[in-house]
Amino acid sequence: MVICELDSVVLRVDKPELGLAAFAQRNTRFEAGDVGTVVHVYGGGVGYEVEFATLTGHPQGVLTLAPEEVRAVEKSDLPKAFAYRRSSHVRRAEVA
pLDDT tens-digit series, residues 47-74: 999 999 988 888 888 999 999 999 999 9
Q: What angle do CA 2, 15, 53 make, to 5 degrees?
A: 70
pLDDT exceeds cutoff 70 at 86: no
Q: What is the mean pLDDT of the chain?
A: 81
In a domain, 3, yes or no: no
CATH number at residue 19: 2.30.30
Domain count across the chain: 1
pLDDT tens-digit series, residues 27-45: 677 889 999 999 999 999 9
Taking the model in full, what pTM does it have?
A: 0.78
In a domain, 21, yes or no: yes
Long-range pairs, 83-86, Cβ under 8 A, ≥24: 84/28, 84/54, 84/60, 86/25, 86/26, 86/27, 86/28
In a domain, 66, yes or no: yes
Q: How far apart are CA 84 and CA 90, in angstroms?
A: 7
Residue 26's domain comprises 8-93
In a domain, 33, yes or no: yes
Helix, strand, coil proportions of the chain in percent (round to 5)? 5, 45, 50
In a domain, 69, yes or no: yes
